[in-house]
Amino acid sequence: MTDQLNFQIRSRIGLVVLVWSVLIGLVLTGCGAEEPKVYRVGVLSGLSFVADITDGFKTEMTKRGYIEDKNIIYDVQTTDFDMVVYQNIIQKFVEDKVDLIFVFPTEASLEAKMATAGTGIPVVFDFTLIEGIDLVDSIREPGGNITGVRYPGPDIALKRFEIMQELAPEAVRILVPYQRGYLNVPPQLEALYPVAEAAGVTLIEAPADNEVELEKVLQMQTKLDAILFVAEPLTVNPDAFAVIGKYAAEHKIPVGGALLSVDGYDSVFGVNVNNISTGAQAARLADKILRGTAAGTIPVVSAENYLQINYRAAQELGLNVDEGLLSQADEIIR
């Protein structure tokens, strides 16, 4: 009887010791575990017209397991075309030693490349023209600490011209307004001029620094048949577009290239990229980088064209929008 009692006591003591050993082990293991990595990403949204690129980026990052305020923190800075502001924002990201910079458009991306040189901070660009600006070494091997999503500027410029010709085949004098000195513009114009010449169309360049100067340029024009936008920041600025829209309405000529509606003035079509989709493309690149792949070894990807037709505005101008063109559209405003 005594032996049995001693056995029961020893068994219970052993069980208690085992339980406490397990608990202590768990506590010690927990104490020794590393805290999960919290990534800090600086986002420079440098053009309000395409600010929702950031939404596409963050949504795709969430799908890939990066939960905001849990394992990733975004410092989102939104502005419009202003080189000094771009520089200040990016310098702050560098000083904060963020884990990655996501940036757009072109000029802001160039600033990010220069500011992060030698810092080890990777850069993912978006809505950025890469032709002729020394941003990357090549599409397949961008090099350094940078990769991103290419904006197919010359291709889009040609598609915009093609759509304008289809909508307004009689237009032979087309104004092309743009931000003076903007790096994206020359490659687009180089692509456009031979095609326009072959079509018997005269392109009239109208560089300007702001909407006030643009209004003066428009007042000097005597005979225009249409206004075509290339990819740059001035014409998609609401104040500048209102000036263009007013002139176009007074002279009953179409405006096309980027889809906008300001103060009752509308463009008739836009050929651009889908902002949400291109943001998601950039997120997939960022994910690779945060998982350890060097940015400069990840090939640059290109955004796809996105066609929008303002059928209502085209009808008001008496333009013929055939079913073939409508069938190409990704979005139709009726």
Are 80 and 217 contained in the same domain? no
For position 6, what pLDDT does the model report? 47
pLDDT at 185 over 50: yes
Q: Are 180 and 138 in a shared domain? A: no
Assess contact for 94 and 115: CB atoms under 8 A: yes
Q: Do 209 and 299 have their domain in common?
A: no
**Strands 305-310 and 269-273: what pairing?**
antiparallel
User: Within a domain: residue 15?
Assistant: no
What is the pTM for the complete model shown?
A: 0.84
Please check whether residue 4 lies inside any domain of the structure. no
Residue 105 has pLDDT above 70, yes or no: yes
Q: Is residue 30 in a domain?
A: no
Mean pLDDT of 82-100: 98
Q: Tokens 């090549």 sit at which residue?
A: 138
Helix (H) or strand (E) holding 164: helix 153-167
CATH number of the domain at 53, please.
3.40.50.2300
Q: How far is CA 236 from CA 34, 123, 224, 270, 302, in A?
A: 48, 26, 20, 11, 22
Indicate the residue type of 259. L
| Structural domain count, the chain | 2
DSSP string, 85-129: HHHHHHHHHHHTT-SEEEEESHHHHHHHHHHHTTT---EEEEEE-
Would residue 225 count as lying in a domain?
yes
Both 180 and 314 in one domain: the answer is yes
Same domain, 237 and 285: no
Residues 220, 326, single domain; the answer is: yes
Percent of the chain with pLDDT over 70: 90
Residues 280 and 132 in one domain: yes
Same domain, 188 and 314: yes
Q: What is the pLDDT of residue 36?
A: 82
> Does 298 lie in the same domain as 186?
no
Structural domain including 208 reads: 154-273+307-333
Angle, vertex CA 38, rays to CA 33 and CA 41, nearest 5: 165
Residue 23 included in any domain: no
Is the pLDDT score of 9 beyond 80? no
Q: In percent, how much of the chain has pLDDT > 90?
A: 87
Residue 132 pLDDT class (50, 70, 90 cuts): confident
Q: What pLDDT is attached to residue 222?
A: 87
226-228 and 202-208 beta bridge pairing: unpaired
Q: What is the mean pLDDT of the chain?
A: 92
What is the arithmetic mean of pLDDT over 219-229?
96
Region 267-296: mean pLDDT is 98
Q: What is the band of 44 on the pLDDT scale with cuts at 50, 70, 90?
A: very high
pLDDT in tens, 147-179: 999 999 999 999 999 999 999 999 999 999 999
Residue 21 lies in a domain: no
| 16: pLDDT strictly greater than 50 | no
pLDDT tier for residue 32 given thresholds of 50, 70 and 90: very low
**Does residue 31 lie in a domain region?**
no
If asked whether residues 139 and 169 sit together in one domain, one would say no
pLDDT of residue 35: 76
Question: What is the tens place of the pLDDT at every residue in 287-296?
Answer: 999 999 999 9
How many CB atoms lie under 10 A from the CB of residue 220? 7
Q: Does one domain contain both 288 and 312?
A: no
96 pLDDT higher than 70 = yes
pLDDT band, residue 1 (cuts 50/70/90)? very low
Structure tokens at 213: 């100067």
Query: Both 188 and 203 in a single domain?
Result: yes
Q: Which range has the worst mean pLDDT, 83-87, 196-200, 218-222, 241-245?
A: 218-222
- What pLDDT, on the 0 to 100 scale, is given for residue 10? 52
Q: Do residues 165 and 202 make contact, with C-beta atoms less than 8 angstroms apart?
A: no
Q: Is the pLDDT of residue 216 over 90?
A: yes
What distance in Å separates the CA atoms of residue 288 and residue 59, rounded to the nearest whole number?
16
What value does the mean pLDDT take over residues 246-261? 97
pLDDT on residue 33: 53
Report angle CA 220, 226, 229 to the nearest 5 degrees: 90
Q: How much is the average pLDDT of 260-265?
A: 95
- The answer for residues whose C-beta is within 8 angstroms of residue 329's C-beta and 6 or more apart is 307, 308, 309
Give residue 34's pLDDT.
Answer: 63
Is 200 contained in some domain? yes
Which residues make Cβ contacts (< 8 Å) with residue 211, sequence separation at least 6? 234, 237, 239, 240, 242, 243
Provide mean pLDDT across the span 104-122: 97
